[in-house]
A and B are shown apart, each in its own frame.
Chain A
């Protein structure tokens, strides 16, 4: 399924980006493949490079190194533009346009346009078509921007922090709409979010960025299956680390709790728990940044 010949929604090889020569790399040495038809959670801490990656995939930026392909096309090429939709974090729309104008803009600027879907998305939010975009609430604006993205009938839908401005009810509604779309037409959806519980229910693939590098690009079920939370005697921790990957570890006196990625069966006297996806992601996000780890590095 993830071999080099399988259809890929996103495929990066040695991908790097920086704004200027000799500047820092917001993104570097990224290599990953995301199969089509997935709902992908793009997670990472602030400044990890999520937005940069999405802008690269949307064709707004061009790679400084390596290559990124979306649906086997070059991002920003005419082919990719018709098949990929990107909802940027600022959800910028023309404030003086009415909602109807904005949707008309989508119709005029896209060779493929599904006006019914776009209008339904807006109506479901109870937004009148004649309202000016500048007078809408941020949540309503998000919905209009999303309608603009869905009206394209994209095969790959990139969403940068789509839920940030939405209340929980609207959030659920939009998520349901997105999932229905994904199930119905096999749309690949990549959404970045800080709200990890939202992702737990919906995503089946995880892209985890840390400091501009891809840390994880994996199926969620595989992740869940491989990770365990172990609690036991601190003396046994080194033995554990020799055979398995300790992602994150907290010591409390003689007892230690560790998020572990298993390689083979576990042995020893450990209390085993199944972590939630959130636990796994937080564990991976925290690695290399907790104070304890830093002291060790410094020493």
Chain B
């Protein structure tokens, strides 16, 4: 084995081991709880429930029917926190530990160059991060699939599903690793690097959650229904909460201008005030992938920037 890769493995094998153990536990829990979900669905209790976002109730006692998806939400939250965990515990010490101990000097005065030294350890960390985060996202998707987009399950637009599954989890974990690595190079102490990494990755994670809610990068569709034609059902679309009335010129007004359910009074009111249609804004379920890929592009781009900055600074700071 190449010498620097041997050293990288020797220093990161504990991390790989711990992360793999966590993955194994998560996978076992997923298998157990997914079986439970499948058994609940097989019982026929949910057969009468519609596909919409409204909760469905038991016919006999009227209580709300829900699958037990609380543990699934926890896995989603764990996946959302992966960039923080990877950055703090894997990225920050990757170069930071050596810099704090001064061991990078010992290593770099052996027969290896700093390019090779960095490439080996970052490559190993990146491959491990990609594999582990991909498997975490995969376990989530597998567990989620029987409960996906049901009022008694988890809709695609809920944060644990939208941010805790798919390729964006891998991109986010790689971003965390790259940001941690860069900050480990910049900060003098590993502990400081860890704190800075927590701040940086936490800020980016929250910013992206806000961007989802604000539909910043994936704008919603506008669904209109002219006159008294019934509105298209919301179904599994993700509403922005913005809906109302449109005039002939296209002006959009608040729904409170004609606060009536479909019927004669609504028609009269709309005719009175010059409204020709009703509208609402929402993202269809197919936008799940639009959200996924924009996130992946943003996080992947940030990761590449961090790695590029690290490589540029490596000559001067190591």
Name A residues whose Cβ lies closer than 8 Å to a Cβ of B. 55, 58-60, 62, 76, 78, 81-82, 84-86, 88, 90-95, 97, 101, 105-106, 108-112, 145, 148, 152
Contacts and interface: CB of A to CB of B under 8 A. Distances in A.
Nearest to A91: B106
Nearest to B315: A62
B10 A101 contact: yes
B181 to A, nearest CB: 19
Contacts of A92: 101-103, 105-106
A82 B109 contact: no
Contact of A108 (B6, B105, B106, B108): B6
B10 A93 contact: no
Interface string B104-120: 01111111110000000
Nearest to B109: A86
B129 interface: no
A108 B3 contact: yes
Nearest to B4: A109
Given A81-B110, A82-B111, A111-B111, A90 B3 contact: no
For the complex, would chain B's binding face be called helix, strand, loop or mixed by DSSP majority? helix
B7 interface: yes
Nearest to A62: B315
Contacts, number: 69
B111 A93 contact: no
Contacts of B7: 105, 108-109
B296 to A, nearest CB: 36
A85 B101 CA distance: 19
B113 A109 contact: no
A93 B110 CA distance: 12
A81 B113 contact: yes
Interface of B: 1, 3-4, 6-7, 10-11, 101-103, 105-113, 315
Given A81-B111, A109-B111, A112-B111, A60 B105 contact: yes
Given A101-B10, A109-B4, A59 B108 contact: yes
Nearest to B117: A109
Contacts of B10: 97, 101, 105
Contact of A93 (B1, B106, B112): B106
A76 B3 contact: no
Given A95-B101, A105-B7, A88 B111 contact: no
B107 A93 contact: no
B311 to A, nearest CB: 16
Which of A84, A86, A95 has the most CB atoms of chain B within a 10 A radius of its CB?
A86
A60 B143 CA distance: 51
Given A95-B101, A108-B7, A109-B4, A88 B110 contact: no
B3 A88 contact: no
A85 B103 contact: no
Contacts of A55: 105
A109 B112 contact: yes
Contact of A145 (B1, B106, B107): B106
Given A93-B106, A108-B6, A145-B106, A81 B112 contact: yes
B106 A76 contact: no
Contacts of B112: 81, 109
Contact of A58 (B1, B4, B109, B113): B109
Given A94-B101, A94-B103, A108-B6, A88 B113 contact: no
A91 B112 CA distance: 18
Contacts of A152: 110-111
A85 B106 contact: no
B103 A93 contact: yes
A92 B11 CA distance: 15
25 contacts: A58-B109, A59-B108, A59-B109, A60-B105, A76-B113, A78-B111, A81-B111, A81-B113, A82-B111, A88-B109, A92-B102, A92-B106, A94-B11, A94-B101, A95-B101, A97-B10, A105-B107, A106-B110, A108-B1, A108-B3, A109-B110, A109-B111, A110-B3, A112-B111, A152-B110
A85 B109 contact: yes
Contacts of A110: 3, 110-111
A119 to B, nearest CB: 17
A90 B101 CA distance: 9
Contacts of A148: 106, 110
A60 B111 contact: no
Contacts of A84: 109
Contact of A109 (B101, B105, B107): B107
A247 to B, nearest CB: 35
A295 to B, nearest CB: 41
Given A88-B102, A92-B102, A81 B6 contact: no
A233 to B, nearest CB: 54
A88 B98 CA distance: 14
A58 B114 CA distance: 13
A172 B225 CA distance: 95
A75 to B, nearest CB: 10
B14 to A, nearest CB: 9
Which of B4, B7, B110 has the most CB atoms of chain A within a 10 A radius of its CB?
B110
Contacts of B3: 108-110
Contacts of A106: 110
B180 to A, nearest CB: 20
